[in-house]
Amino acid sequence: MYILAAASPTHGIPATVYNEGWAQNGQIVSPHTVEGIKLHLRYQGTEAGPLFWAQYSFLGMNPNGLQDKYCPSYFNEMRNLTLVNRAYCIRNPKHYTGFGPDCWGLTASYSVNGYAAHAPNEKEDLGVISPTAALSSIVYTPEYSLQVMRHLYGMGEKVFGPYGFYDAFSEMDNWYPKRYLAIDQGPIAVMIENYRSGLLWKLF
């Protein structure tokens, strides 16, 4: 949003909007370690949030080589955010059925109790895996994301339908809704193509 607004030829915004908004006048910079993985930024006061944070802004904007005074490498930051998410699911502190190296991915999606922003912490982890989380991270973690894709495909019709993987499921609760959510389906296709060819990044 900031990039589009700044690039407007008629109503461009000044840098102060970005600096005082998203960057919180530099307060977003807060180096810390989660699951043994280093992060440079702290979003909304949380240690590590849902994986859509690593995806939506970079569907069109290429994170490779992207940096500013707040972050030395947005690609590395988003990759590490993804690795934190995976590591948390593997550690699985709440002992949910199904979580592991081939089944991880916490992000905003449907859940057993409505829509929720699932994240790698014990408060916001509801035992729900959202396929879009790992699959849309393929640009950061191709090997690990493909591992999840193969596992989910092997689960068959429980999690896969005519338009691809369903939005979310919980093995712990035996909850397999046959529902899609466009905002989660879209990033899967876009990021797979960015991984393959960089097409959307080139067109942005």
pLDDT in tens, 50-87: 999 999 999 999 999 999 999 999 999 999 999 999 99
pLDDT in tens, 105-136: 999 999 998 999 999 999 999 999 999 999 99
Statement: residue 1 has pLDDT above 90 = no
**Domain coordinates in residue numbering, the chain:** 25-203
In terms of pTM, does the model score above 0.85?
A: yes
Statement: residue 44 has pLDDT above 90 = no
DSSP string, the chain: -HHHHHH-TTTPPPHHHHHHTTTGGGTTEEEEEETTEEEEE-GGG-SS--GGGGTGGGTTS--TT---SS-S-HHHHHHHHHHHHHHHHHH-TT--TT-BTTB----EEEETTEEEE--SSTTT--S-B-HHHHHTTTTT-HHHHHHHHHHHHHTGGGTEETTEE-S-BBTTTTB------HHHHHHHHHHHHHHHT-HHHHH-
> Could you tell me the fold of the domain covering 25-203?
Glycosyltransferase (1.50.10)
The predicted structure's pLDDT at residue 43:
82
pLDDT, averaged across the chain: 97
Q: Kindly state the percentage of the chain with pLDDT values over 90.
A: 95
